[in-house]
Amino acid sequence: MPSVIDIAREVKALPAMSVTAQRVIEITHNPRANAAGLQDVILYDQALSTHLLRVANSPFYSPRVPVTEVQRAVVLLGFEQVKKICIFYATKGILKRPGLAETLLWEHSLGTSIAARVVAEHWQPDIAAQAFTAGLLHDVGKSVLMGIPEADYESLLRTFYNESIPLAELERDRYGFDHAYVGAQVSLHWKLPQVLVKAIAHHHGEVPADLTQDQTDLTRILRLANRFAHAAGIGRREPLATSDWGAVAENPGFPGAAVAGIFDHFMHEYEQERARMDVAAM
């Protein structure tokens, strides 16, 4: 079984996050950021520019005139969409989809990112992009565990899918730590903003009392988003039965009674966004 030391070694061996990816995450985390700032980062990175143009010219958008300039792509796609494309680009190569387990994880990550954005929009619109990134990356620890043959993570996932025992519990029983711990180590390695590190670290288990207010807020949004994705059955064999949305929300100041409505809004958004997200992540 992998120990904490083995995990530290695996994490250290992961490639560092590129400067572009770090800048993208930084800029999209700033609620006051505008399209111009992001455009500068895109223009500076040849591969990202090419990627953005490829998305803009894809059959999904099928522009009447081919898009050959980044500036025009930003106008055509809109700032919100460009932000997403850049966030996907920043996380590319991390969330791979070669097999069934990885595909299910990818689906779950997408579902959680949309859910996190929707929950944030209802509660704290300023941090919607931050929440989106948190949702996309929250289970990155699972990707790392999947890559360690001695961990035999597949068998653990099978138990999870067949018996519906919470995965983090199974992991703690077997390894002495869970994927949230691994994910936090990865986020530290990538020098992600502290608020993201904390949210990823605490998306299962107790929310520690010593988090700052913005760390607590993002963590709670992420936890609810994760529950939404599970309740929708995204990336699972069967939806997770949920009877008490108020208890699930666990947010003081969060409209507990409104949670069921926000869940419906999420489901609607998920159906709308799903195809667009595949294009953004291509």
106 vs 190, which CB is nearer to Fe ion? 106
The nearest distance, CB 272 to Fe ion, in angstroms, is 21
The nearest distance, CB 31 to Fe ion, in angstroms, is 25
The nearest distance, CB 151 to Fe ion, in angstroms, is 16
Size of the site for Fe ion (CB under 5 A): 2
74 vs 104, which CB is nearer to Fe ion? 104
The nearest distance, CB 168 to Fe ion, in angstroms, is 6
The alpha carbon torsion through 73, 74, 75, 78 (nearest 10 deg) reads 120
**How far is C-alpha 169 from the geometric centre of its chain's CA atoms?**
21
The nearest distance, CB 6 to Fe ion, in angstroms, is 20
Q: Contact between 178 and Fe ion (CB under 5 A)?
A: no
45 vs 139, which CB is nearer to Fe ion? 139
Quick one: which of 10, 139, 217, 273 contacts Fe ion (CB under 5 A)?
A: 139
Q: Which stretch binds Fe ion (CB under 5 A): 53-61, 158-166, 226-234, 245-253?
A: 226-234
Instruction: Read off φ and ψ for residue 145, nearest 5 degrees.
Output: -65, -35
DSSP 5: H
The nearest distance, CB 184 to Fe ion, in angstroms, is 11
Distance CA 38, CA 13 (A): 29
70 vs 232, which CB is nearer to Fe ion? 232
226 vs 251, which CB is nearer to Fe ion? 226
Contact 13, 24 (CB under 8 A): no
23 vs 108, which CB is nearer to Fe ion? 108
Q: Contact between 226 and Fe ion (CB under 5 A)?
A: yes
Task: Pick the closest to residue 280 from 22, 31, 20, 61 (CA basis).
Answer: 61
Contact 145, 105 (CB under 8 A): no
Q: According to DSSP H, which parts of the chain are helical?
A: 4-13, 19-28, 35-44, 46-56, 70-77, 79-91, 100-123, 128-137, 140-146, 153-163, 167-175, 179-189, 194-201, 213-231, 245-249, 259-280
Interface residues with Fe ion (CB under 5 A) are 139, 226
